[in-house]
Amino acid sequence: MRIAIGDFELADGTLAGGFALDQSRVSVERVFDIVVPLAELLPVLFDRNVRRTTVDFQIARIHASMEAADIYAIDHDAMVPDSGLVQFTATNGAIRWLLHAALITHQLVDLIGATTIHSYHVIGGHFSIAVSYMLTETGDYVLMETGDKIELEN
């Protein structure tokens, strides 16, 4: 499985010179309200269709050298985005997006020779098959549900 936050690739699905996913866990909390309908006495559950999704996983990375692993471990916090659209790509190519996601914690679990192992705790909203959003920080465009990018002119 591949995982990316924005343009930063956390896992590329390989271990040989890559970033392998391990110990992944997904938890979905559905948010309901308890309401009393008009002219009723008994409360009922009202599904607001709001989800809080928690994803925990570990990534093992093999670096070119022990020195490269040390530098990566030290600089890791500055490299990883705090929040953004998280893309999960399955081995068959299916893509799911975790909307409104934030990287809450990351931790260096182990540093063995040229291998680093980090754990991540990401919280977001719904998993979605299609995403449409507008990005204005690096250039104005709209990303359509089909994956097409439409440039916007001022």
The DSSP string of 60-88 is EEE-SSHHHHHHHHHHHHHHS-SEEEEEE
**Could you give the CA distance from residue 42 to residue 56 in angstroms, rounded to a whole number?**
38
Q: Which residues pair with 133 in a beta bridge?
A: 143
Looking at residue 146, its pLDDT comes to 47
Per DSSP, 22 falls in state E
Looking at residue 136, its pLDDT comes to 47
Residue ranges of the chain with per-residue pLDDT less than 50: 136, 145-146
Looking at residue 54, its pLDDT comes to 93
Residue 40, in any domain of the structure: no
Residue 60, in any domain of the structure: yes
Structural domain boundaries enclosing 143: 2-30+49-151
Looking at residue 153, its pLDDT comes to 61
Looking at residue 145, its pLDDT comes to 47
Looking at residue 55, its pLDDT comes to 92
Domain count for the chain, please give it: 1
Residue 107, in any domain of the structure: yes
Report helix, strand or coil for 100. Answer: strand
Residue 134, in any domain of the structure: yes
Residue 36, in any domain of the structure: no
